């Protein structure tokens, strides 16, 4: 796998290492494909938290995630993978974000209180299942570079999901015309999921439609946050 890369030392000089008890297992590094949306979701989340983390990049196009070495860490061969100093791992981007939310609760990005957490969970799932996954299916099933990785690559399924993504984006626009963030008045992981999904539209070759003023206002504000460059 690729060499260790700690990129945030320059971009985010004020970031702090996570404080843990001496007896606790500590997060060591995150193995990721820097261009992929799910690893970026974790990077943005940690940037908003102000948490420093080391990164080890691997290439999905070179199938480095299929290596025996990586599969020993993550049998599902997916990124990101959080590695602890005892050799154990945690995978799935939202699970990794939840771990860091528990370790450093402020600022709260999964909501506060029973209703607030439930609202964030609802909107994050709506964005992930109704929008992000449709963009991902369109990319994986229509982009020529994915032909070797997506077997079988079904172009018709990709086009179906292109339409579904745009339909969901219209519903999201209705919400963002009414409030500053997807789950209410505060930034949450739902906004981070939506941001990486919106940016994923470009490689998926899904054109952003006209007339989505709520989304455009929200996107410009999110893209201007320092964390968006993480």
Which CATH architecture group holds 113-229? Up-down Bundle (1.20)
Q: Tell which CATH classification among 3.40.30.10, 3.40.50.10470, 3.40.50.740, 3.40.50.300 matches the domain 8-103.
A: 3.40.30.10
pLDDT in tens, 166-222: 999 999 999 999 999 999 999 999 999 999 999 999 999 999 999 999 999 999 999
With a pLDDT cut of 90, the percent of the chain lying above it is 80
pLDDT in tens, 11-65: 444 566 565 554 467 889 999 999 999 999 999 999 999 999 999 999 988 888 9
Query: HEC profile for 112-158?
Result: CHHHHHHHHHHHHHHHHHHHHHHHHHHHHHHCHHHCCCCCCCCHHHH
Q: What is the pTM of this model?
A: 0.89
pLDDT in tens, 110-147: 999 999 999 999 999 999 999 999 999 999 999 998 88
Domain ranges of the chain: 8-103, 113-229
For tokens 């290439």, the residue is 59
Which stretches within the chain are classed as H helix? 8-11, 37-49, 68-73, 93-103, 113-127, 133-142, 155-176, 189-200, 213-223
pLDDT computed for residue 8 by the predictor: 38
Q: How many residues does the chain have?
A: 230
């Amino acid at each position: 796998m690729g060499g260790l890369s700690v990129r945030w030392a320059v971009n985010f000089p004020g970031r702090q290492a996570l404080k843990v008890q001496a007896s606790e297992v500590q997060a060591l590094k995150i193995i990721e494909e820097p261009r992929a949306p799910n690893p970026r979701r974790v990077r943005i989340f940690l940037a908003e938290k102000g948490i420093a983390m080391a990164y080890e990049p691997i290439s999905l196009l070179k199938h480095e995630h299929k290596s025996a070495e990586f599969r020993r860490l993550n049998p599902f061969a997916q990124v990101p993978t959080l590695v602890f100093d005892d050799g154990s791992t945690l995978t799935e981007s939202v699970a990794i974000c939840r771990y860091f939310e528990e370790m450093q609760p402020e600022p709260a990005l999964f909501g506060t209180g029973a209703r607030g957490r439930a609202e964030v969970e609802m909107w994050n799932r709506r964005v992930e299942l109704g929008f992000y996954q449709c963009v991902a299916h369109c990319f994986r099933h229509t982009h020529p570079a994915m032909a070797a990785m997506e077997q079988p690559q079904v172009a018709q399924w990709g086009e179906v999901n292109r339409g579904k993504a745009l339909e969901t984006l219209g519903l999201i626009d209705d919400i963002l015309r009414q409030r500053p963030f997807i789950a209410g008045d505060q930034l949450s992981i739902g906004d981070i999921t939506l941001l990486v999904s919106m940016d994923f539209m470009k490689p998926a070759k899904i054109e952003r439609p006209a007339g989505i003023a709520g989304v455009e206002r929200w996107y410009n504000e999110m893209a201007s946050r320092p964390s968006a460059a993480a």
